[in-house]
Amino acid sequence: MNFNEFESKSAQEILQWVIGEYGQRAGLASSFGMEDMVLIDILAKLDGEITLFTLDTGRLHEETYEVMERARSKYGITIQTYFPDKGDAECLLRDKGFFSFRESVDNRKECCAIRKIEPLNRALAGLDAWVTGLRREQNVTRTDVQKVAEDSDRPSMVKINPLADWSLDKMEEYIKTNNVPINALHKKNFPSIGCAPCTRSVEPGQDLRSGRWWWENPEHKECGLHRRPE
């Protein structure tokens, strides 16, 4: 398959191709941020369905749960929810406390591995493709994101990023025009929303992901779900 041919296609065209090619064997990994809500809205207007899942880390904002419920109600969707392994999470908190992730990059990645990566691996088991809301302008770690590519961590899986070339202005215009429900934190200067202890608002003009793990350098600001190809 020539993935380069997808670079000229719209998000709608790519998602309709995903539905036809994979159906329920494709999953949208949704954190219910602005990008994921746009993808859900686009999918709702197309023929056919794919799987929708989310990773509940156990430390999400209340506003995130609220927008999940609004999406479930508005679009009539089923949300498959994956939680961290109970034993691993209990051991981490018992041995290292509740904020070990702020002590070092390694500790933060350990927490992300337990709360995000292991549940993601379970969610992707049995799927052939996964759809994300990655955009190139979000961070220095995402500037080379392709719209469709082989997953560097899972060679048998295709990773699809239909909004890769969308700007923030385009996102906001789509949301306004289509009355897409969004997380209330977006209106409080939270452009990127993750776990509550690891997310804060940003100042105008700051990098879109500067509110995530703000104590780390920009090149480290990935949880491991989306690693850059070597």
Q: Catalytic site residues?
A: 223
Beta carbons of 152 and 229 less than 8 angstroms apart: yes
Q: Which pair of structure tokens corresponds to residue 102?
A: 């702020």
**Alpha-carbon distance 213 to 8, whole Å?**
34
- Rounded-to-integer distance, Cα 64 and Cα 50, Å: 22
Could you tell me the two tokens for 123? 């969610």
Q: Bin 193: left if φ > 0, else alpha if -120 < ψ < 50, else beta.
A: beta
93 closest CA partner among 118, 72, 78, 115: 115
Which structure tokens are listed for 159? 């990773």
User: Smallest Cα–Cα separation from 77: which of 86, 69, 85, 65?
Assistant: 69
